[in-house]
């Protein structure tokens, strides 16, 4: 072997040896930061598998109309049941059949028209789900109904500061009496509620508690509702001026996704509640129509405290939101008009107070390949939009299938990676909802605009 060849062999051996050594050496330690592991499934959350769906915020009477949207994959018979709070009086019941996949929108006034009338829907088969839409002359509210009955509920995103009213409704849909404990935490820590530590809710009735009178002047409030006996379904109604927003109780998860957090002119705030004893690290990603702002907010939330993130500080337009946490948390988004007056500033109030819109919603704990959106696109006095959020790094094709007795053909759209997309719907008398299918998991919600007011609705997943 020549000297030159021998040198090459030795050199090659050195390279190989160094390569093997590099493989065997441990990787350099990563920079310290939150450990966002695989998402923890929520303790309880809405899916389309239950046959019973509870709608605690229904008000059909002289001042409001309520429409309940119901959607199902198979053929189903649906019964709408509304207990009468008067002892001994029979329930009000409506029935309808749906050819699946299909949807229907029920005007509750056709069943009962006495104002407050919370109720529940029973489907003969599933997957199926329901949404409640409550509309007044100057107000619009609603969100998905509830398909689970846990013993502990979390309701974040609330406020009792000046100019706001807050009502907690406790709906007991079964004949047995319920005993309920209501607790509260704010930016100041745990709030004492001695009069709400043992609330009796008679069977097939409901109790409304005006929390703005009980714990006033709190900026960032979370309510927890637990039952020691029986069953209750809670919902909060947040009012500002003439408008209102409502959203249901939720479970806990290490991830939450909100396909939409706002519409034009309504800056959103994200409230995250940490019920754990230990602090949790939270990262908030914001998704625009073209890109993602990863870690737009990063914070540590102390145990037993809620935290608020003003999303418009990082984005002036509509955004999708993903929350990642090192421990199980609850989250809600509230969007509202900017305050026009600065109390205490000496500014003269306007001659006519402008309309103050407010909307709120819960999120989804994980993406899915299929969603039901009962009520979307239906002629309920407003314009609907579907919101699609893709937090993955791959583009996906999404199929939007209208549901209803006169529904048309499906539409397909492309959803780019790490973006959100808004799809404006044309109101159609033959449409009562939508089914959304995607080639890979995404998150879906919808919104309704009516007479200048806005309501945000969480979608319900029917497949992983």
Buried b (16+ CB within 10 A) or exposed e, 11-25: eeeeeeeeeeeeeee
pLDDT of residue 178: 96
pLDDT at 149 over 60: yes
pLDDT of residue 35: 52
pLDDT digits (tens, 9 = 90+) for 221-233: 999 999 999 999 9
Higher pLDDT among residues 229 and 16, named by residue: 229
pLDDT digits (tens, 9 = 90+) for 174-200: 999 999 999 999 989 999 899 999 999
pLDDT at 116 over 50: yes
- Least Cα distance to 335 among 352, 310, 355, 315 occurs for 310
Is the bond leading into 127 cis (omega within 30 degrees of zero)? yes
pLDDT at 43 over 60: no
Confidence of residue 406 (pLDDT cuts 50, 70, 90): confident
pLDDT of residue 355: 64
Confidence of residue 282 (pLDDT cuts 50, 70, 90): very high
- Least Cα distance to 254 among 441, 38, 34, 418 occurs for 38
> Are the C-beta atoms of residues 311 and 268 closer than 8 Å to each other?
yes
Confidence of residue 49 (pLDDT cuts 50, 70, 90): low
**Chain-wide mean pLDDT for the chain?**
87
**CA 157, CA 175: separation in Å to the nearest integer?**
31
């Amino acid at each position: 072997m020549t000297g030159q060849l021998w040198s090459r062999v030795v050199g090659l051996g050195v390279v190989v040896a160094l390569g093997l050594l590099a493989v065997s050496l441990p990787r350099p330690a990563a920079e310290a930061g939150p450990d966002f592991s695989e998402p923890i499934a929520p303790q309880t959350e809405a899916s389309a598998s239950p046959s019973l769906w509870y709608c605690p915020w229904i008000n059909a009477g002289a001042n409001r109309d309520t429409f309940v949207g119901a959607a199902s994959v198979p053929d189903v018979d649906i019964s709408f049941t509304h207990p009468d709070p008067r002892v001994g009086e029979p329930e009000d019941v409506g029935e309808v059949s749906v050819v699946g996949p299909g949807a229907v929108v029920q005007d509750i006034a056709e069943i009962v028209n006495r104002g407050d009338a919370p109720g529940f829907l029973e489907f003969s088969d599933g997957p199926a789900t329901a949404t409640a839409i409550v509309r007044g002359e100057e107000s619009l509210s609603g969100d998905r109904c509830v398909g689970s009955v846990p013993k502990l509920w979390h309701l974040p995103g609330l406020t009792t500061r000046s100019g706001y009213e807050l009502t907690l409704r406790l709906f007991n849909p079964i004949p047995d009496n319920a005993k309920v404990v209501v607790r509260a935490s704010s930016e100041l820590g745990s709030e004492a509620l001695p009069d709400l530590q043992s609330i009796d809710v008679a069977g097939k009735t409901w109790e409304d508690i005006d929390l703005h009178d009980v714990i006033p002047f709190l900026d960032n409030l979370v309510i927890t509702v637990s039952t020691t006996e029986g069953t209750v379904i809670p919902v909060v109604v947040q009012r500002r001026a003439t408008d209102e927003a409502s959203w249901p109780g939720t479970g806990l998860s290490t991830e939450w996704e909100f396909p939409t957090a706002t519409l034009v002119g309504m800056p959103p705030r994200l409230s995250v509640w940490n019920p754990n004893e230990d602090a949790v690290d939270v990262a908030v990603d914001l998704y625009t129509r073209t890109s993602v702002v990863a870690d737009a907010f990063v914070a540590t939330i102390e145990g037993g405290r809620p935290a608020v993130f003003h999303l418009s500080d990082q984005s002036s337009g509509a955004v999708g939101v993903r929350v990642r946490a090192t421990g199980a948390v609850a989250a809600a988004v509230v969007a509202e008009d900017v305050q026009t007056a600065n109390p205490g500033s000496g500014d003269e109030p306007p001659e006519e107070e402008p309309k103050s819109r407010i909307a709120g919603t819960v999120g989804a704990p994980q993406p899915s390949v299929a969603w039901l959106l009962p009520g979307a696109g239906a002629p309920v006095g407003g314009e609907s939009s579907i919101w699609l959020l893709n937090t993955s790094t791959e583009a996906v094709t999404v199929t939007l299938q209208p549901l209803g007795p006169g529904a048309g053909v499906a539409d397909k759209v492309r959803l780019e990676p790490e973006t959100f997309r808004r799809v404006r719907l044309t109101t159609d008398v033959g449409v009562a909802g939508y089914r959304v299918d995607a080639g890979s998991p995404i998150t879906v919600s919808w919104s309704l605009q009516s007479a200048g007011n806005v309501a945000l609705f969480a979608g319900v997943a029917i497949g992983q």
